[in-house]
Structure 1
Amino acid sequence: MSEEQNGKLEDQSWPELKLPDLLFTDTVQQIHASIENEWDSLRQSACQTAAGRALWNHVVHDPLAELFAGETYLRSLYGKIKKDRLTNAREVSGVILAVRTMWFDSKIEAALNSFYGGAAQVVLLGAGMDARAYRLSCLKETDVFEVDFPEVLQMKTTILQAATESTNDCQHAKMTAKSLNRVEADIRDNDWLQKLQISGFVPEKNTVWVLEGILYYLSHSHAMEVLKIIAANCTLTHTVLLADFMNKPSTTLSSSIFHFYSDWPDHLLPSLGFSDVSLSQIGDPDAHFGLLHDPLNLFNKLRSLPRSLQTHPDDGTPCCRLYLVQASGSPNQAIP
């Protein structure tokens, strides 16, 4: 798709909200009622992310996202999008999530291609309601591992079973990855890597680690421990880390939820053992996908300012940044 064509995506008439019949079956409604009543904000964020992918499906193309999101989160976000478009908002709700998803999709494919053949693995830490194993064709020769809380993965499995049993939605639940293993583990505990290996993960096999929308929910010590464990794999095999990092001002958006931050992740990761690190900000050439044209969009305004600034010089507001980072290393390149 050309830049000109891609740039028109945001301007097209937004489709009316039409929810799939499967969302209204007893099984799926009961699941989402439990999610809304019993899950904490961290776990519920998995469904909110799915809602963003569902309502930006014209660019993300995730046929399972509606089922994973549930009616409540879909209607809530749709209402925000409708309001944003009526008021000509510079940034339509969910667009950053769409850009982030597309950035990770493109980098996963590029990383797998960089391995020059041979078996590969993709590990999704804090996988939530991620459906990449069902929608990315680049995973057809790849073993995928989803790591998350037991209740999240169990709910996800139940929803997928309902889709498989439905004559209208069974095609959506067809896996594109070579294999998929769900690993019930809390990455804040010290046994998640062991559980991953028990599930079939091979430390010596080329691996892409995906940490999308997860690091900033962790404490500083837990996040650093996860990053160190992944970095240690650089001494064993070709290892690629894909992650998004908040800077310090971003954590103030919800101080009760967001904890870990790094203002300079491109400095942090080499210190842990990654030999090659590249950083993008939302709106950069590889992180806009024709969806962020407005030069006064918050993220475009921030890109022109030094990253060391914590507050905007024009109005004193916090400079809330989201960094998209790719890091890699291998046994013959790893920093000792």
Structure 2
Amino acid sequence: MHYLFHFLLLILRNFLQLGDMSDKENGPPEGSAWAELKLPDLLFTDTIRELHAAIGKEWDSLQQSACQTAAGRAMWKHVVHDPVAGLLAGETHLKSFYDKINKDRLNNAREISGVILAVRTLWFDSKLEAALSSFNGGEAQVVLLGAGMDARAYRLSCLKESDVFEVDFPEVLQIKTSLLQAAMEPTNEYQHLRMTAKSLTRVAADIREHDWVEKLQKSGFLREKNTVWVLEGILYYLSHSQAMQVLKMIADNCCVTHTVLLADFMNKSSTMLSTSTFHFYSDWPDHLLPTLGFSDVKLSQIGDPDANFGLMHDPLNMFNKLRSLPRSVQTHPDDGTPCRRLYLVQASGSPR
């Protein structure tokens, strides 16, 4: 359930600001990373073609957005190191994302498609590494809820002392596993790919149901062990009651052990982009989470010093324009457009 991609496209479609600038402000110089689309050779083998054909036929639009997210990471490989993103994305999604980026560059767009996704990925990576380093020896559990095509267990060295749990629908995890197994066969281009996490356990569960924590524990999750929970591009697809239930279950762990939550939240205006797709929102997640049991909450917006990564220089970029306004402002005073925000939130708590 890794579905931020829909939000990226909707918000860019509604707010794209065009100007007289090169993509040097929000991406690499002309002729570098996006000059030519190079597809992994493995995508053209019968095994991988069959797997991605099954995704195209059997997965709904929300499940397929896991591949779209992987495609975004593959296209922004100059800043996001994810060697298998292209393989997990598939040819169709890679070509679609590449076309969107080229269109933005031709129009001298201030925001190139996928820049939110790139910043968000880097933010989660950096906060995850910092959280693990705060634990003694870096040993902990990391739970990825709605893991989709996430490959952190194969690309982040900071996970070397951590047990990783990926939670998602069974059909998503099954095909993802098959893709990675095929990639690591001795004759393939990804044969040297190795897991960087101490261990990886995939848990087939729907977090909208009440039994996902039980399934997680049966798979080896230990409540008393330091844990980082990663909720990336997932909360706003849940109903209010479902999202609150998930957050409360995670917050309850603060009473047992050191617990860190990394999540992104839409504000109400953002969910109005598609009321049939987006449901849960919070205009003030930094006020909400302490009521559930988290003692320390830090909130960032795209473009903030810890959510920039050199990709948000232009002051007229729509994200920087929003950052200059108080969060209580619902419509932009310049043009009357809704202030649609995506918050990146780190929360933590412990028994002491």
Q: Is the 8 A contact 1:10 1:291 kept in 2?
A: no
Aligned to 2:329: 309
How far 1:40 moved relative to its partner? 1.4
Residue 106 of structure 2 is aligned to residue 86 of structure 1: yes
Partner of 2:5: none
- After superposition, where does 1:108-127 map in structure 2 within 5 Å? 108-117=128-137, 119-127=139-147
Please, what is the CA RMSD of the aligned residues?
1.4
Structure 1 residue ranges, 4+ long, deviating more than 4 angstroms after superposition: 6-9
Query: Match for residue 239 of structure 1?
Result: 259
Check the 8 A contact 2:141/2:228 in 1, yes or no: yes
CA distance in 1: counterparts of 2:240 and 2:98, whole angstroms: 34
Query: Kindly tell me: are residues 316 and 166 of structure 1, through their superposed partners in 2, closer, same or farther at Cα, counting changes over 3 Å?
Result: farther
DSSP 3-state at the match of 2:262? strand
Q: CA deviation at 1:117?
A: 2.3
Q: CA deviation at 1:27?
A: 1.5
Instruction: Work out whether residues 166 and 201 of structure 2, in 8 Å CA contact, stay in contact via their aligned partners in 1.
Output: yes
- CA gap of 1:52–1:118, structure 2 versus 1, over 3 A, is closer
Contact 2:28–2:78 under 8 Å retained in 1:
no
Residue from 11, 16, 28 that aligns with 1:10:
28
Deviation at 1:11, TM superposition (A): 3.0
Superposition TM-score, scaled by structure 2 size? 0.90
Corresponding residue SS for 1:117: helix
Q: Does 1:225 align with 2:251?
A: no
Corresponding residue number in structure 2 for 1:143: 163
Deviations 1:148-185 (A, max 9, x none): 00000001001011101152333453100000000000
Q: Which residue in the other structure is 2:179 paired with?
A: 159
8 Å CA contact 1:216–1:258 kept in 2: the answer is yes
Which consecutive residues of structure 2, in runs of 5 or more, have no partner in the other structure? Answer: 1-23
Separation in 2, partners of 1:326, 1:169: 37
Worse-matched range after superposition: 214-223 or 26-35: 26-35
The offset of 1:262, in angstroms, is: 0.4
**Superposed, which structure 2 residues align to 1:88-107 within 5 Å?**
88-107=108-127
1:249 aligns to what?
Answer: 269
Query: Does the 8 A contact of 1:163 with 1:172 survive in 2?
Result: no
The offset of 1:94, in angstroms, is: 0.5
Deviates more, 1:104-113 or 1:38-47: 38-47
**Matched residue SS, 1:323:** strand
Matches of 1:280 and 1:141, distance apart in 2:
28
Alignment partners' CA distance in 2, 1:169 and 1:100: 28
User: Residue by residue, what CA displacement relative to the aligned partner does 1:16-45 show, whole Å, maximum 9, x if unpaired?
Assistant: 101011111111112112212221122111
Q: Does 2:221 correspond to 1:201?
A: yes
1:270 to 269, 290, 304: 290
Q: Which amino acid aligns with 1:10?
A: P
Q: Secondary structure at the match of 1:324?
A: strand
- Counterparts of 1:283-302 in structure 2, within 5 Å, are 283-302=303-322
Q: Deviation string for 1:94-149 (max 9, x for gaps)?
A: 11100000000000000001112263100000000000000000000110000000
The letter of the residue matching 1:142 is S
Within 1, Cα distance between the matches of 2:192 and 2:134? 29
Local SS of the residue matching 1:165? coil
Q: Contact 1:122 / 1:209 at 8 angstroms: preserved in 2?
A: yes
Query: How far apart, CA to CA, are the structure 2 residues paired with 1:259 and 1:245?
Result: 11
Give the unaligned 5+ runs of structure 1: 1-5
CA distance in 2, matches of 1:40, 1:100: 24
> Within 1, Cα distance between the matches of 2:252 and 2:317?
38
Q: Secondary structure at the match of 2:137?
A: coil
Task: Give CA deviations for 1:300-336 in whole Å, capped at 9, x if unaligned.
Answer: 100001111221111111111000000000001xxxx
**Structure 2 SS opposite 1:254:** coil
Please say if residues 26 and 112 of structure 2, whose CA atoms lie closer than 8 Å, have aligned partners that are also in contact.
no
> If the length of structure 1 is used for normalisation, what is the TM-score?
0.95
